[in-house]
Structure 1
Amino acid sequence: MREFQRGAVRLHILHHAAEEEIHGAWMTEELASHGYRISPGTLYPTLHRLEADGLLVSEQRVVDGRTRRVYRATEAGKKAL
């Protein structure tokens, strides 16, 4: 992914995670609706990097019998916007 697009995707993720909890499958669909074609192999490392940088936090939840990791923005993530 090109650097400009990578930055735009990160901002998009932070924007939504600051408003509500997000998860990877939903974020993939949301990004696609804005013209970003991002594979899980690109999205999940981006989410993990944002978490490692202290901009997101995550937790696992069971939804409909399946484990899902949900993310939300930290205060630092909100300030980064």
Structure 2
Amino acid sequence: MKKIVFTLIMLITSMNLFAQASEIEMADALRSNGKIYIVVISIVIILLGLLTYLFAIEKRLKMLEKKSGDKN
């Protein structure tokens, strides 16, 4: 049963890959105007902000764990 489910998932995944072979007009227009770089920079800034936020939370969490460990 696991093999059948795995095979079906792999087939569905490969069918999705074929759907992406068509031309994407919006991406071509953004690339020709040079605006694709603005999109990429925006995505990078958002990801860097999220990573910074996650590391700050991790740092605070470690500090709280350290304080609660000292009390016990």
Q: How high is the TM-score relative to the length of structure 2?
A: 0.29
* Larger CA Rg, structure 1 vs 2: 2
Structure with higher helix content: 2
Of structures 1 and 2, the one scoring higher in RCO (CA 8 A, sep 6+) is 1
Q: How high is the TM-score relative to the length of structure 1?
A: 0.26
Structure with higher strand content: 1
